[in-house]
Amino acid sequence: MRVLVVGSGGREHALCWALAASPLLSRLWCAPGNPGTAEHAENLPIGATDIAALVGFAGDNAIDLVVPGPEATLVAGLADAMAAAGIRCCGPSAAAARLEGSKSFAKEIAEAAGIPTAQWQRFEDAVEARAFVRRRGAPIVVKADGLAGGKGVVVAATPEEAEAAVVRLLGSGGVVVIEECLQGEEVSLFALCDGTTALPLGAARDYKRIGEGDTGPNTGGMGACSPPPVLTPAIEATAMERIVRPALAEMARRGTPFRGVLFAGLMLTAEGPKLIEFNVRFGDPEAQCLLLRLRSDLLAALLAACDGELGDFDLRWREEASVAVVLAARGYPEEPLTGGPIGGREAAAQVPGARIFHAGTRLEDGRLVAGGGRVLTVCALAADLEAARSAAYAAVARVQFPDGVFRRDIGLHTGAAVVGAAVA
Ligand code: AMP
Ligand code: GLY
């Protein structure tokens, strides 16, 4: 099998690493990749949203399977363009990627499918939206409808804050969704889907804020652990039955079946799991945690998803737990300081169970330096969460990255979601 991975983060390094272990693989490329993906794949100078160039490369090089990482690639229609060229792509069409690309679309699907989720309303008019906020009171959640690069959600503690968010997120000609604020523990549940069948791909807890104890601005994710201790097998089964499978059935009923990885952000409330949002891809750094725990052949699983054969597929997992600690460049998320040298990776990787994935790194005169906000994901797999935490932090301690910052509480329980700030 000749496989092309699309993207350049820690998630894509982990995907390349897992695919490289497959006996079915003959050759692997990554576009554009990073110095970590280059250990397993041939990196290509093609951007992740350059759909025409990706399809051209895949056609010219007899690619059997395309594995897209980021949502922007999918929302831009990579899967449709590959389908038109007769090339398998394990990701949703642009129509199905609207589950992530439009919050109001996701809410409509949830409503049509009877999925438990926060009460909501869609607004295009600021006067009406602000009146609604005043009527409902706070806490209340205001969301931009479209992809907002992590700046589109405000969990407002006061009506004034919510009204200010309405004005900012509505902008001129925009759409906002205003939601009931759910209370509880958050977890991310992943499912591999072939249009009709959804197989659980594991779950993770994501640590979104930059600061320990869930403080400071929101980021792409500063760490993750899997499995999340609060998600019992019974709650996971309930979430698959009440949230993931009904969404899949509704998408199929509408003629836009969902293929690829469906990522359900859940709030575990007193009334059971409720949907916060859908994403249409693996999370980063959740993917690093999940893939460390996957025992089955990832390539075979992704092919089965593309071919509508997940009904007969048996995905196996390791019993161990995994922890991923993100090393970010100082100044992230606002203004990351790039160019700082990174050393000690070999020593770090020698910690039993540890594995290091590159994200924003680059080579400068043969030296590895920071090239972006999130720089490395230092992961570990061990018998239980505490052992995985110890191993991951033992590895972090061996990395020499003076310009780096990280959270020391990844894998620790830090309480329920914080109300009162822009969180995504
Ligand atoms: P989203 O981009 O929709 O996942 O929202 C980002 C974050 O905002 C989530 O991870 C939650 O922490 C928070 N959030 C979003 N919607 C709600 C809600 N209805 N109630 C409480 N918190 C929410
Ligand atoms: N870590 C959250 C995400 O990938 O969306």
Find the CATH number of the domain harbouring 338. Answer: 3.90.600.10
User: Which residue, 255, 288, 312, sits at the end of a domain?
Assistant: 312
Q: Residue 419: pLDDT above 50?
A: no
Among 155, 180, 205, identify where a domain stops.
180
The rounded Å distance from CA 153 to ligand 1 centre is 7
CATH of the domain at 19: 3.40.50.20
Same domain, 152 and 34: no
Has residue 414 got a pLDDT over 90? Answer: no
Question: Does any domain span residue 67?
Answer: yes
- Residue after which a domain boundary falls, among 312, 339, 356: 312
Rounded Cα distance between 409 and 174, Å, is: 37
Q: Cα angle vertex 376, ends 371, 380, to 5°? A: 175
Output the six-digit token pair for 370. Answer: 């920071």
> DSSP letters along 27-60, please?
EEEEEE--TTGGGTSEE-S--TT-HHHHHHHHHH
SS3 153: strand
Q: Whose CA is nearest to atom 3 of ligand 2?
A: 283
118 in contact with ligand 1, CB cutoff 6 A: yes
Give one word for 7, left, alpha or beta, with left for phi > 0 and alpha for psi -120 to 50: left
**Angstrom distance (rounded) from CA 288 to CA 224:** 9
Nearest residue by C-alpha to atom 16 in ligand 1 = 276
User: Does 101 reside within a domain?
Assistant: no
- 200 three-state secondary structure: strand
Residue 248's alpha-carbon distances to 111, 201, 306, 375, in angstroms, are: 13, 15, 15, 34
Among 71, 75, 153, 188, residue to substitute to test ligand 2 (most atoms within 8 Å of Cβ): 188
Whether residues 61 and 169 fall in one domain: no
Element (H, E) at 290: helix 286-293
Least confident span in 61-70, 141-150, 174-183, 185-194: 141-150
153: how many CB neighbours lie within 10 A of its CB?
21
308 with 326, same domain: the answer is no
Distance CA 141, CA 180 (A): 6
- DSSP state string for 87-102: -EESS--HHHHHHHH-
Segment 189-228, tens digit of pLDDT:
999 999 999 999 999 999 999 999 999 988 999 999 999 9
Cα separation, 279 vs 274, in Å, equals 15
Contact 216 CB / ligand 1 (< 6 Å): no
Residues 175, 247: one domain? no
Cα(89)–Cα(6) distance, integer angstroms? 10
Looking up residue 210, the CATH number of its domain turns out to be 3.30.470.20
Between CA 92 and CA 90 the distance in angstroms is 7
Write down the pLDDT at residue 217: 87
Got the DSSP string for 314-332? ---B-SSEEEEEEEEETTT
Could you tell me if 72 and 156 lie in one domain? no
- Paired sense of beta strands 259-269 and 185-194, if any: antiparallel
The DSSP secondary structure of 131-147, one letter per residue, reads: HHHHHH-SSEEEEESS-
Per-residue tokens: 217: 């601005």
Query: In terms of domains, do 353 and 415 share one?
Result: yes
Q: What is the mean pLDDT of the chain?
A: 95
Q: What is the mean pLDDT of residues 61-86?
A: 97
pLDDT given for residue 106 in this prediction: 97
Range of the domain at 59: 2-89
Detail the DSSP E strand segments found in 251-320.
Answer: 259-269, 272-279
How far is Cα 272 from Cα 236, in angstroms, rounded to an integer? Answer: 10
| Domain match, 259 and 329 both | no
Q: Could you report the per-residue pLDDT of 96-137, keeping only the tens digit for each?
A: 999 999 999 999 999 999 999 999 999 999 999 999 999 999
Cβ count within 10 A of residue 284: 26
Proximal ligand: closest to the CA of 263: 2
Classify residue 230: in a domain, yes or no. Answer: yes
Span 341-357, pLDDT tens digits: 999 999 999 999 999 99
Q: Rounded to an integer, what distance in angstroms lies between the CA atom of residue 314 and that of residue 72?
A: 30
Q: How far is the CA of 319 from the centre of ligand 1 (A)?
A: 29
273, part of any domain: yes
Cβ distance 276 to 185 under 8 Å?
Answer: no
Question: 249: how many CB neighbours lie within 10 A of its CB?
Answer: 16
CB of 221 shorter than 6 A to ligand 2: yes
- Picking from 208, 204, 211, the residue whose alpha carbon sits closest to that of residue 406 is 211
pLDDT of residue 424: 39
CATH number at residue 164: 3.30.1490.20
Q: What is the pLDDT of residue 148?
A: 80
Residue 339 lies in a domain: yes
Name the CA radius of gyration of the chain, rounded: 21
Average the pLDDT over 281-291 and give the result: 98
Measured in Å, residue 419 CA sits from the centre of ligand 2 at 19
In a domain, residue 267? The reply is yes
Phi, psi at 51, each rounded to 5°: -60, -45
Chain segment 300-325, per-residue pLDDT in tens: 999 999 999 999 999 999 999 999 99
CA–CA separation, 66 and 81 (whole Å) = 11
Judgement on whether residues 139 and 168 belong to the same structural domain of the protein: yes
Q: Which two tokens stand for residue 400?
A: 């020499």
- How far does the centroid of ligand 1 lie from the alpha carbon of residue 186, in Å? 9
Does 99 map to a domain? no
Do 360 and 374 contact (CB within 8 A), yes or no? Answer: yes
Distance between CA atoms of 355 and 18, rounded to whole angstroms? Answer: 12
With tokens 């407002």, the residue in question is 156
User: Is the domain of 147 the same as that of 29?
Assistant: no
β partners of residue 188? 204, 265
Taking residues 15-38, what's their average pLDDT?
A: 98
Provide, rounded to the nearest whole percent, the portion of the chain with pLDDT above 70. 97
330 shares a domain with 281? no
pTM of the full predicted structure?
A: 0.95
DSSP element (H, E) containing 109: helix 103-113
Residues 343 and 410 in one domain: yes
Judge whether 364 lies within some domain: yes
What is the distance between the alpha carbons of residues 358 and 374, in angstroms, rounded to a whole number?
9
Question: Residue 282 Cα, ligand 2 centroid: separation in angstroms?
Answer: 8
Together in a domain, 206 and 264 = yes
Number of domains in the chain: 4
Mutate to test the pocket of ligand 1, among 121, 142, 147, 153 (most ligand atoms within 8 A of CB): 153
Query: Which ligand 2 atom sits closest to the C-alpha of 286?
Result: 1
